[in-house]
Chains A and B, each alone.
Chain A
């Protein structure tokens, strides 16, 4: 079902958001390799600032939240709080193997098992750590998602209801022993 045609001001806002997303990075207890690859994106070799992508400190100014690291028990409530502070529409990119399933830290006693257990995720990036090229690709994928969501009038069109999953839960990957 197509969304009703957006007003001019709404379309302007959508265009500005997609052309120049502001990101905020949250390290939820990882080894930092992902954070350094993100900073390498801002450096002259990869240079994402020419796309208008800026890294902002405060979550209140951000469009995209990038989460690195497996979420340690200490960081989990803080991650939830940071996510709540971001104004809608917000997008979350979970980086690396840690973001998908805890990575090499799956099953350890001081980590939550997945970022998805704490906040909903929109884009996953594979790698340990993902290369800067892959990170830029993820941000561009997120921008495409933003424009699709704007055309559909929100995120509901791609969100599954929890009741649609067998047992009501997203099936988890069994830890390999």
Chain B
């Protein structure tokens, strides 16, 4: 375990990628744009010693879709890199080549929110059933199950 990262050090290092704030004693949040996410992650891997991806969280705040990448390293500080995407065309470059575990998380977020990760090698269904219709993203706030759509299960009569 090395010593935790300070806010000043992180702000200095990530100057080109976005603004940083200390949201908790061991977590620093960096707000950036979709285009700069890859650079932010590469910088934090190389200069902030963030060797591990914890998870990628996705949320719908009503106006935009948000993606937050959480990384950590031997300093045990969590660096959260956040980006907002527009609802009608949510697209962001993939990071699964820099961080292999991101592959699974991105597939899951694509199924549930419809965010397209450009450059992902294999963005197919992972968490919703095979009969789930395309373009229905259940975790978006404005999604409601359609009364006549078939989402899966059995169509036949009960026995």
Contact = CB atoms under 8 A, between A and B. Distances in A.
Interface of A: 71-74, 76-77, 80, 109-110, 112, 116-120
Given A73-B131, A74-B129, A74-B130, A109 B159 contact: no
A119 B158 CA distance: 7
Interface of B: 128-132, 138, 145, 151-154, 156, 158-159
B153 A77 contact: yes
A71 B129 CA distance: 12
Contact of B145 (A74, A109, A119): A109
Given A76-B152, A77-B153, 18 more contacts: A71-B153, A72-B129, A73-B129, A73-B151, A73-B152, A74-B129, A74-B130, A74-B152, A77-B154, A80-B154, A110-B129, A110-B138, A110-B151, A112-B154, A117-B158, A118-B154, A118-B158, A120-B159
Contacts of B154: 76-77, 80, 112, 117-118
B153 A109 contact: no
A74 B126 CA distance: 12
Contacts of A76: 152-154
